[in-house]
Structure 1
């Protein structure tokens, strides 16, 4: 039973998050560089300037977490990587892969009314999300056959 793997990553969030992360780094580095003595009498030390740069890096890292989601599906099951954490789900546990009306992303339906969100398949991606869902369902049909 030879089935091709399906790998999906969100598109639109990547196009937005990467420039925002770069902008945060540049702005905080610039502010950190320009921090000196102010007319109000506040004195900024080198440690304050460094802290501004580090804060920019931390914020940019947080924004880049939004680009982390990925879905890998193969003959053995699904590997769902969301912003924090990765789950491997065997096909035997998967009751369905759905995209509820109005939901921001797809989800894997599990036994006992549980589900795992698939943040890699996002509604904002439009046709890309539709293609991903079709590929995933086709893979499931191939495996079940």
Structure 2
């Protein structure tokens, strides 16, 4: 089976819309800061700072679009919001999606697991397809009689 890649779908749309909204709101607020009847004097630097603050907040929201999972016959790479890990298939016990969980996870030895934020419950059919594909790759790479398991 060829290499596959999955990313979340709905969160990318929501985060993109929120990022645009944040930049727009902070830009408007920054532009309106110049004239206030309160006697407070806002300088151009204050206005620019408001726009920059909106851009920084938007960048923070866009971090939610970063999760990705890539898998091939050798293993799986999980990139979440900040961290990224690569696991060989023989190090993975199961690919699971527990009831009530927000995202899938890779079950590892010693009762450890790694969340796969790229496969989210809100994506429904996309998540089902992704989990099934990862399970097929895992099953193919780790035969039932594998002595390492």
**TM-score, reference length from structure 1:** 0.95
Could you report, residue by residue, the CA deviation over 1:14-55 in whole angstroms, capped at 9, with x for unpaired residues? 111101101111111111112113111111011110110110
1:38 aligned residue: 36
Paired residues, what number?
143
Whole-Å separation in 2 of the counterparts to 1:104 and 1:76: 27
The reply on whether 1:5 has 2:8 as its aligned counterpart is no
Whole-Å separation in 1 of the counterparts to 2:109 and 2:99: 21
Unpaired segments of 5 or more residues in structure 1?
A: none
**TM-score, reference length from structure 2:** 0.92
2:115 aligned residue: 117
Q: Does the Cα contact within 8 Å between 1:4 and 1:139 map onto a contact in 2?
A: no
Whole-Å separation in 2 of the counterparts to 1:134 and 1:128: 10
Unpaired segments of 5 or more residues in structure 2?
A: 144-149
1:11 Cα deviation from its structure 2 partner = 0.3
> Which secondary structure does the structure 1 equivalent of 2:70 belong to?
strand
Whole-Å separation in 2 of the counterparts to 1:79 and 1:124: 22
Q: Does the Cα contact within 8 Å between 1:93 and 1:110 map onto a contact in 2?
A: yes
1:14 aligned residue: 12
Cα RMSD after superposing both structures: 0.9
1:61 Cα deviation from its structure 2 partner = 0.4
Which protein, 1 or 2, shows the higher relative CO under an 8 Å CA cutoff with sep ≥ 6? 1
Q: Does the Cα contact within 8 Å between 1:25 and 1:57 map onto a contact in 2?
A: yes
Q: Does the Cα contact within 8 Å between 1:78 and 1:89 map onto a contact in 2?
A: yes
1:80-95 paired onto structure 2 within 5 Å: 80-95=78-93
> Which secondary structure does the structure 1 equivalent of 2:31 belong to?
helix
